[in-house]
Structure 1
Amino acid sequence: MRSLRTIAVRRVRATAAWTAVAIAGAAGIAGCATSASEIPTLVPVYHGNRVWNGVTTTHDGRTFVSYPQADGPGVQLAELDGDGRAVPYPAASWNTIATDRDLAHRFVHVNAARIGPDDALWVVDAGAPGIGKPVVPGAARLFQIDVSTGKMARVYALADATRPQSYIDDVRFNGRRAYLTDAGAPGLLVLDLDTGAVRRVLDGHPSTIDTRALRADGKVVLDESGTPLRVHADQLEVAPDGTWLYYQPASGPLVRVPTRLLDDATVSPDALAAAVQPWADTPTTGGTAIDAAGNIYLSDTDHRRILKVSPAGETSTLIADPRLIWSDAMWIDASGYLWLPASQQNRTAGFNQGQMTVSYPVWIYKLKIGVQPSPIDHR
């Protein structure tokens, strides 16, 4: 196992140093329908020696990253310090792989981490060591960490709404509700943040099922056995006014459903299913973000670009750049930057027929978009 003290990460100063950025194979996108050259406004911020799948920042400038264990066991959640070092968070002990015998102070598999509207760091434990792998009993959890103290403020158990093949993927907030996606056993979870009660909704609904092939860099994504990988309900965003939840399987398409129906436990499964609306025919997506105006940003992993879906459901290209290799969980900060971790997830063994072809270092970029994040998501 790699050291739990620090991971080699370097911050790139916002100078002409960006021109020296190079990733093997980034000169072109073999097999892709869309080509692109490097865009000067896409600024490299951090690079590291492990695959990360998410980045989040506090309003006072702290940065946290998550690691999906795609290139071996090690730190799962870290804070990047002033020197660019990845320090295990909230402590090294939490980052020691847990089993069903020692869950109290350990993660099993961190899959998402983000600052919430309360300025706490919220962390999703998928509850299973990987997609398609059996859950560890009691491991599917949502953690709320007070970043001012580094202490766990609350741990929400999600076991009441999981299935044997569940893989809890990501979380978004709407007042005192949290919504989570299940990428392993297709469905959504609705969590009451006051009581801790959790319900499973749209269980096995077609909108939550990955029915078409995942694609990246012009190829179908295959798992370690060479079988097309399926990632069910994955990305999700809440409209800035809280009225709609947008979600999709990793291969699209994007749909929406009224949150008033999600939040009402008396609404029948059939009535909720009937309220799901198609929204945008999106491609295979690594991650999303939503701004204060309701624009949704999502990555197109097949063409190394970021798309923008307007509040009217119209899709346009925000940026295409060969460095954006499987952009994963995005983040909009208060300064109007869209943060983009280029995870290279499609080059990891689980997404690449058992072959590791990641070209290190792995980068995080940011792009000035000049808009604020959704106020109900974070500030």
Structure 2
Amino acid sequence: MTGPVGDEPLGELEVVHTFTGPMPTGVSMSHTGRIFVNFPKWGDEVPATVVELRDGVEVPFPNQGWNSPSADDDAQAFVSVQSIVVDPADRLWVLDTGSPMFQPTKPGGPKLVRVDLDSDTVAQVITFPADVALPSTYLNDVRFDLRRGEAGIAYITDSSDSGPNGIIVVDLATGQSWRRLHEHPSTKAEPLETFRPVVEGRPFLERPADGDPKPVSMGCDGIAIAADGSRLYYCPLASRRWYSVATDALVDRMVSDDEVAATVRDEGDKGGGSDGLETDDAGRLYLTSYEHDAVLRRRTDGEYETLVHDPRLLWPDTMSVAADGHLYVTANQLHRQATYQRGQDLRRKPYVLFRTRIDAGPVLLR
């Protein structure tokens, strides 16, 4: 006689590393197999906001000095890093929010920093003017196309939960940057009337220890670039819909904001809220699904499939496709933080870096 049937996992998840300290968000692999991870400063004790995993040890990267800021506007150190991405030329870019505990930013804090992996030294620091990185800005994630301009273009999401959302475009040769889709509806969190997220069977809301719950308000968060570089995909954290925009329009500063907006495409309902997005060199798109402990994949024929579903995928956050044919993904229990649990921290360590085989490689636009 058998008992009641429960939920069944789908796909194969391999544990790469477990974290017993602060919660991670970003992960990225070099073309030679080096693994980098970051930890934003959201209340945990964070000895280093960027590390390399070496033989199972979290080593400050590129060194402890760069992980020891003197202030929140220190342009020569990492303040609070949300994302790290290895670019098509095998260089690590560090996206620093300059916003520990989601505090207002100051010039010098928000920045994009290039670390050359042949020497493990910082080679470029790009800061943002005050009309690009606003006091409310939260630099969330970044993608690259090195074929454009003299040294390439970076695209960054501003996921602010308290101010304007949009896409920030960066010319890597000059360091110049500009905002696109500023406050466009596709970049905004949806209200509870149209999006009521449920995670682990419970409504996902900001729930202070005292006071009324309120909806999660993070805007455009996940970002991914098409395999041919023609379109940039993005999604608000608080939405089940996702969108894309023509990269030609984003990059050309002679194109008006209205003309950029005219190239936005509603990619439809993706079945759940997503944090991270990713693409592979076979033209497929990957979406984390934090409401379903899953990673979904949209095939080139437009059909969706579940790559992996597992109860251990408690808030799949950031994904990264590696040259070894695997998709790597962090699971960090974000929804169990005290912010969403009436002041009680319900996270249970360890947090986990997983990987699953996809038999494809990263998009390398170079």
With normalisation by structure 2, the TM-score equals: 0.88
Match of 2:347 in 1: 358
Aligned pairs for 1:209-224 (under 5 A) are 209-211=188-190, 212-223=195-206
Check if 1:237 corresponds to 2:216: no
Give the CA deviation at 1:312. 4.4
Please say if 1:81 is aligned against 2:54. yes
1:137 to 82, 107, 112: 107
Counterpart in the other structure of 2:25: 53
- Of 280, 287, 298, 2:268 maps to 280
Q: 1:213/1:126 Cα in 2 relative to 1: closer, same or farther (>3 Å)?
A: farther
Q: Which residue of 2 aligns with 1:293?
A: 282
Q: Deviations over 1:203-237 (max 9, x none)?
A: 00000001134442233333363422211111111
Mapped partners of 2:197, 2:97: distance in 1: 20
1:118-139 CA distances to partner (integer Å, 9 max, x unpaired)? 11111101121244x3113321
Counterpart Cα distance in 2 of 1:36 and 1:76: 36
User: Is the contact made by 1:128 and 1:135 (CA closer than 8 Å) also made in structure 2?
Assistant: yes
Map 1:306-325 onto structure 2 (within 5 A): 306-325=295-314
Q: Is the 8 A contact 1:219 1:302 kept in 2?
A: no
- Structure 1 unmatched runs, 5+: 1-34
- The separation in 1 between residues aligned to 2:110 and 2:336, in whole angstroms, is 26
- Paired residue type of 2:19: G
Preserved CA contact (<8 Å) 1:55 1:339: yes
Given that 2:274 and 2:289 are in contact with CA atoms closer than 8 Å, whether structure 1 keeps it comes out as yes
Instruction: Give the Cα–Cα distance (whole angstroms) in 2 for the partners of residues 231 and 351 of structure 1.
Output: 13
C-alpha distance in 1, partners of 2:42/2:72? 21
CA separation in 2, counterparts of 1:146 and 1:224? 42
Q: Which amino acid aligns with 2:217?
A: R
Amino acid at match of 1:230: S
Cα distance in 2 for residues equivalent to 1:67 and 1:303: 24
- How far is the alpha carbon of 1:97 from its aligned partner? 4.6
> Which one of the candidate residues 172, 182, 187 is aligned to 1:208?
187
TM-score (norm. length: structure 1): 0.85
Q: Percent identity?
A: 34
Output one character per residue of 1:5-46: Cα deviation in whole Å (capped at 9) or x when no partner. Answer: xxxxxxxxxxxxxxxxxxxxxxxxxxxxxx743457211111
- CA offsets 1:291-321 (integer angstroms, 9 cap, x no match): 1122111111111011112234432222211
Counterpart selection for 2:141 from 150, 162, 170: 170
Q: Report the equivalent of 2:149.
A: none
In 1, Cα distance between the equivalents of 2:49 and 2:285? 27
- Among 66, 78, 84, the residue aligned to 1:94: 66
The answer to whether the Cα contact below 8 Å between 1:202 and 1:208 also exists between their aligned partners in 2 is: yes
Contact (CA 8 Å) 2:81, 2:97: kept in 1 or not?
yes
RMSD of aligned C-alpha atoms? 1.9
Give the Cα–Cα distance (whole angstroms) in 1 for the partners of residues 70 and 275 of structure 2.
26
Aligned to 2:251: 263
1:105 Cα shift?
A: 2.6
